[in-house]
Structures are given as C-alpha cells and as structure tokens.
Amino acid sequence: MRPYDIILKKRNGGKLNKEEINYMVMGYVNGEIPDYQMAALLMAIYFKHMDKEERAILTEVMANSGDKIDLSPIKGIKVDKHSTGGVGDKTTLVVAPIVASLGIPVAKMSGRALGHTGGTIDKLESIPGFKTTLSLNEFFENVNRFGIAIVGQTANLAPADKKIYALRDATATVDEISLIASSIMSKKLAGGADAFVLDVKVGSGAFMKTFDEARELAEAMVGIAKSHNKKAVAVLTDMDEPLGKYVGNSLEVLEAINTLKGLGDSRFTELCLTLSSWMCYLAGKGNLEECKSMVKNSLESGKALEKFRDLVRAQGGNPEVVDNPDKILPISKNIIYFKANIDGYISKIDTEKVGIACNYLGAGRAKKEDNIDHSVGMKILKKLGDSVSKGEPILELYVNNSSNIETSLKLLNEAYHISSERPVLSNIIIDVVE
C-alpha cells in the first residue's frame, strides 16, 4: 500500500476501504506518513467527501487510536451530551443535575474554553474549591454515590484526532462535514457512553452558520453513532445570539443556579428541558412525553438544584454557592456599559464577535496555556429583537485591570446591528434528528 495511491483514489472521488483509512491514519499518528501526504488526503476528502461507511471507519480508527474509557463500573445506561460550541453555553451545568436527579448516571468529561466558545470546566472552576481533576476511581465512585461527576478530560482520548485536527487547522480543511463528524464522534465513542444527545448549534456564534450545514452535520453524527450500535439524537439549536442572559465564567454559573431555581431565561430553560428530556428518553426512562414531564418536575421541585449542590460538595466546592451565588462566586465589581448608538431594534448579532469580545475582557483564552479571569463577562440587557433608544445600555460589562476594554467595545460595535425593522426570531429548538 502506498499513500500516493490512496490520495489519488480519493482525489478521483473513490471510496476508501478500512485498510486504506487505517493505514493512512495510523501511519500518520506513528510518524511514518509525513504531514504533506496527510494534508493532501485531507484536502481530497474536503473536495470529494466520504460516504456513511467511510465516516464510520474513520471514526472507529481514530477512537481506537488511544485510551478508551470503560464506564462499566458505573451502573445503568450512560447518556452523554455534547454541544458543538457556542457563546454563553452553560447548558451542561443545568442539564447534568436535572438528568442525575432522575437516577440517570452522569459521568461527564468536559472541555475548556478555546476560540470564541466557553468551556464547562472553566465555568465550574469559578466555584471556590471545586476540583475538576479526579482519579478514574474517584470519578466512578462519585457517579455511583451521588449520581453525578463532571471532570476535565485527562485520558488520552483519540490522539489521532488531536494530530489530524492540528493539521486541518493549518491547511484550511476543518469545515468538512465528514471530518468534523468523525472528529467529534471519535472522542465521544472513546468516552464510553451508551447513548448521545448532540446539541448542534446553528447561527452566527456556531461552527455551522446555516441550517443546511448543521442538519447535514447532525445527520452525519447520528449516522456514525448508529453504525457503532449506539443511540443518538441531535437537536439543532439557535446560536444567532448568546445563549441566555450572561456570558463569562462566574456569571454563567450564577445563571445556571438561577435557572435551576426556576428563575432562568425562558429560551435557555426551554433548551435545557429539551436536551434533558431526550437524555432521559435515551436512558429508557419512558416515552418522550413522560420524560418531558419528569424533567419539568425535577426542575420545579428543586430536586435538580439539590443535585447541583451534591455535585459541588462532592468535588470539594463551597456548597453555599447554591444559596448565595453572587456572594461566593468571584464577580468583578467594575461595571461599564456597551450602549446603543441609534434608536431601533437589535436586528442582528455577530455572536462569534461577542464571544471574542468577552475573551478580550479576560474570560477566555487565545492559547491553551493562557490564564483566564473568572470574574469578568457580560450581562445581556437587550436581546435580539428588543427595541433600544440611542444611549441605552445593551450590555453590562464586568471588567478588571487586565481587560482589554477598547478592543472589546470595538468588536461589540461591529457585532451589534440596530435597524428600524424588528427581525423575525428563530425558535431556540430548530430541528431534531433521531
């Protein structure tokens, strides 16, 4: 077998078999195939794509390239949730305790902020004392005892994806559906869950900017799960504006706690209830209607809030955060405003730019090694479609000495569009792919 022939076959639109995909991926991981040949293959895939079978094989090869977590020490059906990433996306902090409160084990490995999107692990680390690193045994023990554990990814999951992703990033081959779907699903499969709920974001703050692209990605990911005999549901959700009312680490934890108290933004709450219901359904707790009602009851009865308290206590955090989040969480006292420059309606938001503006305040990182400031962020005073008058605040910015306020305000000026026409708003739940 020669890399040249495999590249040529794909370049000419051919279908690669398991031996060929395995040979290229593992050869690349082992350093036997150079960057330039793997890059050429990726570009050929970018233009000629992969069919269902090739995607399933690519996913399997990448999933098998490193550690695979065996979740069998945890009893019950393990359902994982994955978001393709957005701005203000604190969904896991609400969904995980709801689902755990219904007896579904939540053994969650989450990520950190990178690029314009935030990460659950950084958000949880806003809670004083909260440990996001547990040994595998502690992780299993916490899930069996409390029904829930959320940790950062320590295992070496899908190293082939890591290496290939870095190459895709440098060769303009990231945004191809087969490559994205197999990249995400290889890590999910290696994580060991039995079923997956995939929150595929659509819009200006998402990876997939249009409905058609997002739907195709969702179908590809659900198809890959099916080929590996795992259940999956993808929910396409709106990311044309930041999710909820806050962006930034401590502020998003505050919002998650308020949501668990029933005081959340209605669209954000609807999203959390929908994703939780699908997780409950995949865990075999009942039909979808029954699951919706169980999930609603968990939120309204306060059971989910108490499960969040269990999570915080079990991982060494200060449980008082549940009762007095604004006192316990580090939230900057320095506030400035981003204001409307004309009268009208907020008609369009470049949400990715809002995420980057928040990073300039210190909430995110440009490089993996960067430190983040948990106390900074934004409170959203005006949402898409709201009317504003000239000089009226749109955002409350929580800043600190390290905040790059000028750059942030410049980006926000570019991100927010105000016009005389009220825009048509999309539902938060756009579509579901089963």
The contact mask relative to ligand URA for 188-227 (x = CB under 6 A, - = no) is: -------------------x--------------------
Cβ 263 to ligand URA, closest distance in Å? 32
**DSSP letters along 278-316, please?**
HHHHHTTSS-HHHHHHHHHHHHHHTHHHHHHHHHHHHTT
Active site residue 161: yes
Q: In what order do the strands lie in the sheet with 246-247?
A: 246-247, 377-380, 393-399, 334-339
Identified catalytic residue from 10, 78, 82, 307: 82
Instruction: Using the minimum distance from each CB to ligand URA, give the nearer residue, 59 or 258.
Output: 59
**DSSP letters along 59-107, please?**
HHHHHTTSB----TTS-S--EEEEE---SS--HHHHHHHHHHHTT--EE
Q: Decide: is 83 part of the binding site for ligand URA (CB under 6 A).
A: no
Residue type, 258: N
Instruction: Using the minimum distance from each CB to ligand URA, give the nearer residue, 207 or 246.
Output: 207
Q: Which residues, in sequence order, are CB contacts of 231 under 8 Å at separation 6+? A: 194, 195, 196, 225, 282
Q: Decide: is 117 part of the binding site for ligand URA (CB under 6 A).
A: no
Instruction: Using the minimum distance from each CB to ligand URA, give the nearer residue, 55 or 382.
Output: 55
Spatial distance between the Cα atoms of 52 and 42, rounded to a whole number of angstroms: 17
Tokens 């249009």: give the residue: 210
Active site residue 183: yes
Cβ 165 to ligand URA, closest distance in Å? 6
Cβ 45 to ligand URA, closest distance in Å? 12
**What token pair was written down for 182?**
């197999």
Q: Decide: is 184 part of the binding site for ligand URA (CB under 6 A).
A: yes
Active site residue 82: yes
Dihedral of alpha carbons 172, 175, 179, 185, sign? positive
Q: How many residues bind ligand URA (CB under 6 A)?
A: 7
Instruction: Using the minimum distance from each CB to ligand URA, give the nearer residue, 217 or 349.
Output: 217
Residue type, 246: Y
**DSSP letters along 164-200, please?**
HHHHHHHTT----HHHHHHHHHHHHHHTT-SEEEEEE
Cβ 179 to ligand URA, closest distance in Å? 6
Residue closest to ligand URA, measured at CB: 183
Q: Decide: is 183 part of the binding site for ligand URA (CB under 6 A).
A: yes
Single out the segment in contact with ligand URA by CB under 6 A; choices: 13-21, 179-187, 234-242, 258-266.
179-187
Spatial distance between the Cα atoms of 100 and 305, rounded to a whole number of angstroms: 11
Instruction: Using the minimum distance from each CB to ligand URA, give the nearer residue, 165 or 211.
Output: 165
Question: Among 124, 180, 193, 197, which residue interacts with ligand URA (rule: CB under 6 A)?
Answer: 180
Instruction: Using the minimum distance from each CB to ligand URA, give the nearer residue, 84 or 403.
Output: 84
Cβ 183 to ligand URA, closest distance in Å? 3
Spatial distance between the Cα atoms of 121 and 124, rounded to a whole number of angstroms: 5
The contact mask relative to ligand URA for 156-175 (x = CB under 6 A, - = no) is: ---------x--------x-
Spatial distance between the Cα atoms of 373 and 174, rounded to a whole number of angstroms: 29
Cβ 187 to ligand URA, closest distance in Å? 6
Cβ 199 to ligand URA, closest distance in Å? 13
Spatial distance between the Cα atoms of 265 and 412, rounded to a whole number of angstroms: 22
The contact mask relative to ligand URA for 262-291 (x = CB under 6 A, - = no) is: ------------------------------
Active site residue 108: no
Identified catalytic residue from 80, 122, 161, 199: 161
**What token pair was written down for 204?**
């200006």
Cβ 91 to ligand URA, closest distance in Å? 16
Contacts by 264-268, CB closer than 8 A, 24 or more apart? 264/94, 267/238, 267/243, 267/428, 268/91, 268/243, 268/244, 268/428
Catalytic site positions: 82, 161, 168, 183, 187
Which residues in this chain contact ligand URA in the complex, by CB under 6 A? 165, 174, 179-180, 183-184, 207
